[in-house]
Amino acid sequence: MKVLVVKLSSLGDVVHTFPAVTDAMRAVPGLTLDWAVEEAFVPLVETHPAVRRAIPVPLRRLRKAPGEALRSAAAAIRAALRAETYDVVIDAQGLMKSAAVGLFARGRRHGFARGSAREGLATFAYHTSHAVPETEHMAVRLRKLFAASLGYSLAGLAADAGLAVPAEAQGQGNEPPYIVMLHGTTWRTKTWPVKHWRDLALMAAERGYETRIFAQGPEETARATAIADRIPGVRIVPPGPITALAPVIARAQAVVSVDSGLGHLAAALAVPTIGLYGPTNPRLTGLFGPKALELKSLRPCAPCERAQCRIAPDLVEGPPCLTDFSARDVWRALNVLRFGHADAMDKTGSTVAHGGTSPPSP
C-alpha cells in the first residue's frame, strides 16, 4: 500500500504525528509511506524508519517569493506530489493549506471530519472524513485518524514515536552527564525568567551535572549568554539544524523545556523531560512520551492562550504563571520523573523540597 501523509508544520505537530506513522508501519504489510512537509523539517521526518521519501513543501519561504518564483515552485511541488499514485492520502493537519497540498496528489484523500478538523472548510477536499473529536491529545487523535484511514485496529499497538537514537548520540562515554535547558520559544508569555534558569544551572553544577543551552538566533543567543554567565559547566550549543541538535538532546540525562517544539522532540526521544506550562494548555498538545512530566500553572487566569499577559502586559519575559515555578520545584520534578522520589539526583545528599504553587502532575 502506498500512502502519502500531509503534515506540514510545526515541529511539535510533526513530532506528534510520529506515533501514528509507527502504528501504520507495524499494522500495514508492505507499506510505502511518503510525507509532504515544510522543508525545514525534511531531515527530521527522514529519521523515521517508515518514511521512504520526504517531499519538501516550502510554504513559509514562498510567502515572500515574487509571482514568477511562486508559480515555478508551485509547479515543482505539484510535480513531486503527482509523481506517484497513492492508495491513500492522509491530511493529518486539517487546515486549508494542508488540504490544498493534498489536492495536488493522486489518491483517495482522507482527513478529519467537520467538527474535528482545525478548519472546517478543509473537509471539502477529502473523499472520506473521519470524526475524531478534539477531546484527547493530538497524538492520540492522529493515531485514530491513521487507523480509520488505513483500516487497522489500534488494539495491541503501544504508542511509540519510533525514532531511533541518532548515531551521533552514541559512543560518548567520556562525556560528563548533563541536562539540556530549552529556553527558546515564540511567545514572551511562554518564557521562564533568566534568573530561574540560572538557579537551575547552579543547582545542576552543585550536584555534578553540566548544562547545555541552545542559541538559535539573536534573541536566544542573548538569553543563553545571560544564563551561562559565570556558571561553571554551562555550554552554549551553537546554531544548527535539527539533525545537529537532536543528538545533544538524546544524550542528555534530562531536559527542561518551556512550551517549544524541541521539548516535544525530547519527549518523543524518551529523554526524561519536564515541561513548563503557563499560558498554554498541554492537555491536547502537550508533551507526549514515556518519560514526560508537565508543571502546569494553577492560577485562575491560566491557561489564557495569549501572547501578551493581561496581568503584566509590559513584561519582557516570565509571566507570573510561569514565575511561580522555582528552580527547586523543577529539580524536584526531575527527581520524581527519573527516579520516583525527590532527592535521587541530589548528589549532595540533601532533599530538594517542593515549595511552589503547582505540584508536579503526570
Which tens digits make up the pLDDT trace of 93-132? 999 999 999 999 999 999 999 999 999 999 999 999 999 9
Domain membership flag for residue 235: yes
What's the pLDDT band for 349 if we cut at 50, 70, 90? Answer: very low
Residues 131 and 184 in one domain: no
pLDDT in tens, 228-247: 999 999 999 999 999 899 99
pTM above 0.85, yes or no: yes
Cβ atoms of 321 and 296 closer than 8 Å: no
Domain C-terminal end among 150, 184, 210: 150
**354 lies in a domain?**
no
Shared-domain flag, residues 79 and 215 = no
pLDDT of residue 45: 96
Q: Which pLDDT score is estimated for 302? A: 93
What's the pLDDT at 65? 64
Q: Is residue 308 part of a domain?
A: yes
Residue 58, in any domain of the structure? yes
Q: Considering the domain boundaries, does residue 355 fall inside one?
A: no
Residue 353 is assigned to a structural domain of this protein: no
Share of the chain above pLDDT 70, in %: 90
Q: Is residue 359 part of a domain?
A: no
- 10 in the same domain as 103: yes
Residues 183 and 317 in one domain: yes
Q: Is 97 found in the same domain as 40?
A: yes
Last residue of a domain, one of 118, 150, 182: 150
The answer to whether residue 36 is domain-embedded is yes
Torsion from C-alpha of 225, 222, 180, 35, nearest 10 degrees? -150
Q: Are residues 31 and 64 in the same domain?
A: yes
What tens digit of pLDDT does each residue of 202-225 get?
A: 999 999 999 999 999 899 999 999
Q: Are residues 212 and 334 in the same domain?
A: yes
Shared-domain flag, residues 136 and 58 = yes
Choice between 255 and 339, residue whose per-residue pLDDT is larger: 255
Q: What's the number of domains the chain is made of? A: 2
For residue 343, name the pLDDT band (cuts at 50, 70, 90): low
Is the pLDDT confidence value at 290 over 80? yes
Same domain, 65 and 195: no
| 94 and 190 both lie in a single domain | no
Q: Residue 42: what pLDDT?
A: 96
Domain holding 225, by residue range, is: 167-339
For residues 187 and 317, membership in a common domain is answered with yes
Does residue 323 share a domain with residue 179?
A: yes
Residues 22-36: pLDDT tens digits?
A: 999 999 999 999 999
